[in-house]
Structure 1
Amino acid sequence: MTVLSVTRQDISSFTESDIADLAKRLEQDDYTNPFEALNDWHLLRAIAFQREELAEPYLYLLDIEAYDEA
């Protein structure tokens, strides 16, 4: 499944195990091309926005920093 085809409904069906597998792939960073890694990163980011409780242990993989836009 590509990130572009992931819907809110799809994300609601993810389990803790699915997220752990996703995080493991990101941690190992053993992809055949950079777009696979980017897809996984965007998927984890989408999950973090929609199901924060599942992504919370892996937020360090997103490397999101708070900043002030004002």
Structure 2
Amino acid sequence: MEGIFSTKSDIFSFGVLLLEIVSGRKNNSFHDLDGPSSLVGHAWELWREDKALELIDPSLEMEVR
């Protein structure tokens, strides 16, 4: 009734929102049957493969001098 399901669901949703911002992809943009079905699953696979930095949208990369 008040728009709050639980504190845990709010924190999870906030985490998904951060993943969407950092990756530049929407959570529902994964429709590949062979791969993960969500952005969270994709991020988890990259984390397990020690490739988490591949999640970052290339347009956010900074040039270091």
Could you say which structure has the greater relative contact order, defined with CA pairs below 8 angstroms and 6 or more residues apart? 1
**Which structure shows the bigger proportion of residues in helix conformation?**
1
TM-score w.r.t. structure 2 length?
Answer: 0.32
Larger radius of gyration: 2
